[in-house]
Amino acid sequence: MTLFHALQQTLGNQHVLTDADAAPYLTDWRGRYTGNAVAVVRPGNTEEVAAVMRLCAEHGAPVVPQGGNTGLVGGATPDASGKAVVISLARMNRVRQVDTDNDTMTVEAGCVLQTLQGVARDANRLFPLSLAAEGSCMIGGNLATNAGGTQVLRYGNTRELTLGLEVVTPQGEIWNGLRGLRKDNTGYDLRDLYIGSEGTLGIITAATLRLYPLPVARCTALLALKSVPDAVTVLSRARAGFGASLTGFELMSSACLELVTRIYPQQRLPLEGPVEQHAWYALLELSDNESEAHARERFEAVLGAALEDDLVQDAAIAENLSQSHAMWHLRESIPLAQAEEGKNIKHDVSIPISRIADFVATTDAALQVHFPGVRNITFGHLGDGNLHYNVQGSRGEAEAQLLARQDDIYLLVHDSVHAFEGSISAEHGVGQLKRDELLRYKSDVEVRLMQRVKQALDPQGLMNPGKTVQDGSA
């Protein structure tokens, strides 16, 4: 029996997709990578995932796990050979348990992130992972890439939000590690190995996630700033003044907000004057578990001092939830506005916070020397050192002209990141976009260790081949 017919027999014809039905699963969100596949399969439970994996192992067919297909590095797209089976986890969208005494929920990989936020809220709890694609990304993909988002400063990346996993191995075995324990020191931490591995070691099918008390009050403000050094100083003061209550500190260049307000004129900056009159903006959020009055008092004390010391040029404090949402909508619209403006060269980098200002100044200047006229659309999570340091072509420049210089721009930016002791991937993953780049910046020892782990867990090389780890025996 062929693999295709065996898949149909296992899952039913309606859950084994080909041709036009499979097409949406074969191209990444950015439209940068398009592949082919034997089929796209949609298992409904962990046992079916394991059965599919055993069939693929028997036939030597590569497997590409896929969640919401919102990734930016081609990590969930098959190659053009047509040999792979894409396993969509979208049907596995059940919340198995919410435990408010243990502050955990156990969920399947196909749950949409925004849905999980709502489930937690209905239980009077907070699940703090939040990012622009939360309406369509799935928790399995968030786990596979160790997604960060806007509240890492307070709650950590997806890895820190996860207590246990359920995983299907390349051999079709099921590891049930769904333990809701804060302490479990019984050998190697397999959970942390699978999180961030981008489906190259196994398929995450479920997770036990941490929940937190819902904040009593939140305060949000948009700040206008002269420079990145001033933003770093304000961040330090906010940390000192708010402690663990500081949940977000997002940095945006004026070019970002000019783009958003031009592309989406219904969105307005809640400050007087044109966007360009200030070089930088920051979106700051405080969550308080005491009272609205207490939150507001702390908020205004820190911001008032920063205004008096000329670190903040102007500030708008949200008076209600609607205004807070509007401020966050400005921030979250930046990637969409960039896509409307045209293709761009994205960088998802992390730098020690103390060195971010020098990195931005040095790299901006170098880009203008080598690629005059390009625009820096720089924004990101300053609180955890993660910048989306994106490069847009000059106005009127053909997209093809910018993309022809892509490799050279990557090299310049990533060399600068490395010089400032940073990482070329902070939260988007490696995928196929940055796989070869890793060889420039990771030591031979580090690369060999990664290859050994891959070889040990996936000796047939079936799991998401061509992604994250260079092929090669150790």
* pLDDT, tens only, 439-455: 899 999 999 999 999 99
Those residues whose C-beta lies under 8 Å from the C-beta of residue 435, and which sit 6 or more positions away, are: 466, 467, 468, 469, 470
* Torsion angle defined by CA atoms of residues 329, 331, 108 and 433, in that order, rounded to the nearest 10 degrees: 140
Longest Cα pair distance anywhere in the chain, in angstroms? 76
Residues of the chain within CATH 3.30.70.2190 domain(s) are 217-335
Tokens of 341: 């403006």
User: Of 153, 318, 167, which is closest to residue 235 (Cα–Cα)?
Assistant: 153
Low pLDDT (below 70) residues in the chain: 471-474
- CA 280 – CA 117 distance, rounded (Å): 30
363 touches 412 (CB < 8 A): yes
CA–chain centroid gap for 458, Å, is: 25
174 touches 166 (CB < 8 A): yes
pLDDT value at position 227?
A: 97
Tokens of 409: 């721009």
* Torsion angle defined by CA atoms of residues 467, 468, 471 and 474, in that order, rounded to the nearest 10 degrees: -160
Residues of the chain within CATH 3.30.43.10 domain(s) are 3-88
Residues of the chain within CATH 3.30.465.10 domain(s) are 95-213
β-pair type (39-41, 85-88) = parallel
Residues recorded for the chain:
474
Place of tokens 């005494």: 101
Those residues whose C-beta lies under 8 Å from the C-beta of residue 422, and which sit 6 or more positions away, are: 349, 350, 351, 352, 355, 359, 385
User: 95-213 has which CATH code?
Assistant: 3.30.465.10
Tokens of 118: 């709502």
3-88 CATH, one of 3.60.20.30, 3.30.9.10, 3.40.1360.10, 3.30.43.10: 3.30.43.10
Q: Spelled out in words, what is the top-level CATH class assigned to the domain 217-335? A: alpha beta
